[in-house]
């Protein structure tokens, strides 16, 4: 059987008991290592599991999945996924391939950013579409996220923005020349996300949000040193939330007084927070 096993958000101990039992008996164990990352290295997983783990990068998962699926009809093969297995479409595609080959499969779920984000103090049922923010380049500045944010804001919903990570990426030159030389890993920060959001709003000028719109910066969610900072997008554009991974939540108008009291406590500047909230919501 092919198993997709969620690892949770932080470290080697976040795996469920059901997941750990499968890992210990599977013939091969892969760690999908590019849609997200844990806050520990592969060696910590191997030490805790008492067995070796194969690192599966984008090429292996998306282009050479036959290697992973080979033998999964006769042996147990496990793929470890940070968060929950269905947090990325890549894993749905893998199950479709397994189904086409007649390989049985099972999913072991775990906590993900999609539900753990409630720890920031906002009610989950008032979140709208989740969007991704990728690193801008000199020639590529995708803004499709903007329309999704605007749709959420029009009906008062919060928006969770998942921030880009670049792991085992090649430069264009190395890719063209076929050189397997990889760039250093990069992880988008809350500050970079806020800056890019403000740049796109300045270009479009459609008022999906403004420099004074309130948002929450989140870092290392699920870990012992997770951090939340609330403030305007302008304030967050210079905020330092330390080590990755980061995400950002843009507030919608469907917000309860208790939620506001909660997130105000970790605001960068409480007076600025109150002014920004009053400007968009008509009250403090």
Q: Kindly state whether residues 127 and 105 are assigned to the same domain.
A: no
Q: Kindly state whether residues 71 and 163 are assigned to the same domain.
A: no
Q: Kindly state whether residues 150 and 271 are assigned to the same domain.
A: yes
Domain boundary among 111, 136, 151: 111
- The pLDDT of residue 268: 98
Q: Kindly state whether residues 78 and 217 are assigned to the same domain.
A: no
- The pLDDT of residue 123: 96
Q: Does residue 62 or residue 85 have the better pLDDT?
A: 85
pLDDT at 170 over 60: no
pLDDT at 277 over 70: yes
Q: Kindly state whether residues 93 and 129 are assigned to the same domain.
A: no
Q: Kindly state whether residues 163 and 221 are assigned to the same domain.
A: yes
Mean pLDDT computed over 38-54: 92
- The pLDDT of residue 161: 98
- The pLDDT of residue 172: 60
How far apart CA 279 and CA 18 sit, in angstroms, is 49
pLDDT band, very low/low/confident/very high, at 109 (cuts 50, 70, 90): very high
Domain boundary among 111, 137, 170: 111
Mean pLDDT computed over 127-131: 96
Q: Kindly state whether residues 211 and 142 are assigned to the same domain.
A: yes
| Range with lowest mean pLDDT among 12-16, 59-63, 143-147 | 59-63
**Contact 198/234 with Cβ under 8 angstroms?**
yes
Map residue 1 onto helix, strand or coil: coil
Q: What tens digit of pLDDT does each residue of 93-103 get?
A: 889 999 999 99
- The pLDDT of residue 175: 60
Q: Kindly state whether residues 248 and 237 are assigned to the same domain.
A: yes
How far apart CA 157 and CA 81 sit, in angstroms, is 28
- The pLDDT of residue 184: 77
Q: Pick from 29, 37, 36: which is nearest to 2 by CA?
A: 29
pLDDT at 60 over 80: no
Q: Kindly state whether residues 43 and 141 are assigned to the same domain.
A: no
Q: Which domain holds residue 233?
A: 114-281
- Which residues are annotated as part of the binding site for S-adenosyl-L-methionine? 9, 84, 87, 112-113, 163, 221, 246
HSE, side-chain direction, 13 A CA sphere, residue 194: 30
Mean pLDDT computed over 172-178: 63
- Which residues are annotated as part of the binding site? 9, 84, 87, 112-113, 163, 221, 246
Percent over 90 (pLDDT), the chain: 75
pLDDT at 283 over 70: no
Mean pLDDT computed over 34-56: 89
| Range with lowest mean pLDDT among 19-33, 45-59, 174-188, 231-245 | 174-188
**Count: domains in the chain:** 2
Q: Domain holding 140: CATH number?
A: 3.30.950.10
How far apart CA 127 and CA 136 sit, in angstroms, is 25
**6 token code pair:** 């969620």
Strands 131-133 and 227-232, sheet pairing = unpaired
Q: What is the pTM of this model?
A: 0.91
- The pLDDT of residue 240: 97
pLDDT band, very low/low/confident/very high, at 32 (cuts 50, 70, 90): confident
Q: Pick from 220, 218, 239: which is nearest to 161 by CA?
A: 218
Contacts of 206 (CB under 8 A, 6+ apart): 146, 150
How far apart CA 113 and CA 229 sit, in angstroms, is 17
- The pLDDT of residue 201: 97
**Contact 162/131 with Cβ under 8 angstroms?**
yes
Q: Kindly state whether residues 230 and 267 are assigned to the same domain.
A: yes
Q: Kindly state whether residues 129 and 235 are assigned to the same domain.
A: yes
Q: Domain holding 51: CATH number?
A: 3.40.1010.10
Contacts of 104 (CB under 8 A, 6+ apart): 1, 2, 73, 98
- Cα–Cα distances in angstroms (integers) from residue 38 to residues 34, 82, 135, 224, 272, in the given order: 10, 6, 20, 13, 34
**Contact 54/28 with Cβ under 8 angstroms?**
yes
246, β-bridge pairs: 219
Q: Kindly state whether residues 137 and 207 are assigned to the same domain.
A: yes
- The pLDDT of residue 182: 63
**217 token code pair:** 């910066």
pLDDT at 129 over 90: yes
């Amino acid at each position: 059987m092919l198993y997709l096993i969620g690892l949770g958000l932080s470290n080697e101990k976040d795996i469920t008991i059901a997941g750990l039992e499968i890992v210990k008996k599977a013939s091969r164990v892969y760690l999908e290592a590019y849609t997200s990352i844990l806050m520990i290295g592969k060696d910590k997983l191997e030490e805790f599991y008492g067995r070796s783990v194969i690192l599966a990068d984008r090429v292996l998962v998306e282009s050479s999945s036959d290697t992973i699926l080979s033998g999964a009809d006769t042996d147990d093969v496990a793929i470890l996924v940070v968060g929950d297995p269905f947090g990325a479409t890549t894993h749905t595609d893998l199950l479709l391939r397994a189904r086409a080959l007649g390989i049985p499969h099972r999913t072991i779920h775990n906590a993900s950013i999609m539900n753990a984000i409630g720890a920031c103090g906002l009610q989950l049922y008032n979140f709208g579409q989740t969007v991704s923010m990728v690193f801008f380049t000199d020639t590529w500045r995708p803004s499709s996220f903007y329309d999704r944010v605007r749709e959420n804001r029009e009906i008062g919903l919060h928006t969770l923005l998942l921030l880009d990570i670049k792991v085992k990426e090649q430069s264009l030159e190395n890719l063209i020349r076929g050189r397997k030389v990889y760039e250093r890993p990069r992880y988008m920060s809350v500050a970079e996300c806020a800056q890019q959001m403000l740049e796109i709003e300045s270009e479009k000028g459609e008022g999906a949000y403004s420099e004074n719109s309130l948002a929450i910066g989140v870092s290392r969610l699920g870990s012992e040193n997770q951090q939340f900072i609330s403030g305007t997008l302008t304030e967050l554009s210079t905020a330092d939330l330390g080590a990755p991974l980061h995400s950002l939540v843009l507030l919608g108008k469907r917000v309860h007084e208790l939620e506001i009291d909660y997130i105000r406590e970790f605001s960068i500047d409480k007076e600025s927070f109150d002014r920004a909230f009053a400007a968009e919501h008509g009250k403090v």
